[in-house]
Structure 1
Amino acid sequence: MRNGLDYLMSVVEHLDERESTVTARDVKYAVLHLQAAVEVLLKARLMAEHWSLVFSNPHQATRKALEEATLASVTTDQAVTRLRNIAAVPITDKEEKALTDLGKHRNKLQHFGLTAPARAMEAKAGEVLDFLIRFVDEELLPRLGPKERREAEETLLGLRWSLVNINTFVRERTNRIRGAVKKEGAENRTIRCPDCGQMALVLGETASRDGEPVPACRFCASRWEPEELLWFFRAEGQDEPSELNSCPRCGEWTLGWGVRVLVDPVGDVCFCFACSVAFPALLPCDRCGRPTDPADGSTTLCGSCWEDAVEEDRYGRADPTHYGYGPEQWDDDCDGEQQ
């Protein structure tokens, strides 16, 4: 698996548009190394199922041939078929076609150079990269020992950060994630991830961190506790969590400010990271700072401060108009007892 991840790092380096423009030569070597990564990583999963499955003809498999690397190994098409039929690995028809097309382009590159437009090849590479990252996350990492897994995750960490800079990868992966999120009806609880900046952090679902459930970004796999998210989504001028973060639904101090939600990717809203609910109309109370919903738009006082303000106004200790409370309303409520 280490060799496969090394090929993936090379692919990312060739397609990373952060440093320089991606050239036809970059795409050429990205495709060659991506195909090598496909072959190595698919075979790694077959090996995890049983070592004989990497042989073109398992009936002729011998340990000696495997250890000396003299075996005739499976093709990509054979590997996909065995992974589906024997290991029950979910590989869609679209993903299989992307892998097959990549193999065809690799063969053309080796014999004739780059014949397809570079951008078209880059898009194909983006499809396969998307598949391979999911494949590594779901099929290979869980089968590694503790030490190997730590090493692989360290490599993947750098790989994921670089992948964000590859436009085709971002587009392919984002489209797939958004399609899945919409199918699940989870657009109203999918927010922008503070790490990768993609609309892929789905609240209300969990991934394990040391045995504890925490939300994970579907794009970069970063995991977030509600308290951690608060540090990225604080109200203007806020230093520490406070009553500003009190959720009106669950009461927890897990309400973030300025959160971008997939269901409305234009405006920022308040969003509770505990109960996974957005509150588009909330504003901070003018007096205590607690979140409040100014239903009629006349004031931004919470219910408690509104009652306090009315009580103060009744006894002349405050100017009622300071709280958006007009003189006519004041006279009616206080029975004309203005002082």
Structure 2
Amino acid sequence: MESNLLENSLIHLLDAVDRLDETIPDIISLKYSVFHLWSGIRLLLEKRLSDEHRSHIHSNKKDTHHPKINVDTGWDAPLDFKDLKEKLYAFCGMDIDKYDYILNKIRKDYDKIEHSKFRGSKVQITSNLVEVWPFIVDFISKHMNLSNDSYSTNLFDQTCEIMDTHLKFIRDKKNEINDVLLNQLKKSFYAKPLKCPVCLQDAIPLLPNSDPKYSCAFCNNTTHWKQLALECGSDLNYVGPFDCLNCSSHGVLQTKDQWICLSCCHTWEFEQISICNMCGERLVWSQKNTPYCEDCKRPV
């Protein structure tokens, strides 16, 4: 099986992009597209690891979900994504941490399919596919040798050809919403759109209103501020969430240039707020010249 990892990976990737090429894909096509996308990416990473040594793609941990397999065959559990990344770094010198946000998004969608909890649309899934596509192309060009493999080359060429359609689809969608998003940002309490944790586009205008929800202009996903703050802090490149110093709600995020609260719609400059030096979990006013929050200053 290891000798066909590249071929199997490219077959999965071709199936993923092909299923999204339908004008209105049904839920089965959407699910299988995510399934094949993550399977293809995972096999691609395993192929690079197996090039160092075939034993690297197996875990030393026993498969607790299928213990009979371990007893009867001696097979080890498959690598989880964390172990796969660590081995790529240890044995291949590869650091893919900067792609965590998109790889983890696709992996989590894959896991939701396994537990029948996945919901998605063509816009959302195609956007994720386009977001991860540069990583796939870069990985194949740098770490896979297709020069003497005409079948794998043909698979990849077919995938690239269909991807041109998806790239155009996303470009057209961005152009379609551009004017609407710009008008919404004029009313937003934060000058830039927040990245959507569903479609991964910078397309959530932070419009102050009595409704505690925010909507993505790109994929139309609507999320309660608590869930949005949590997903932005755990899955995307934002720091937080923290308890707000103004309203006490757990909705403050640190963006690239400001602090923002998704609950009370307040913003602060970087220098106005600091993170407690002791617990790292609470915020303090920088002008008070104290590096510790009130809880950490209390005697034990």
* TM bucket, shorter chain: 0.3 to 0.5
CA radius of gyration, larger in = 1
TM-score norm. by structure 1 comes to 0.41
TM-score norm. by structure 2 comes to 0.46
Q: Relative contact order (alpha carbons < 8 A, sep ≥ 6): 1 or 2 greater? A: 2
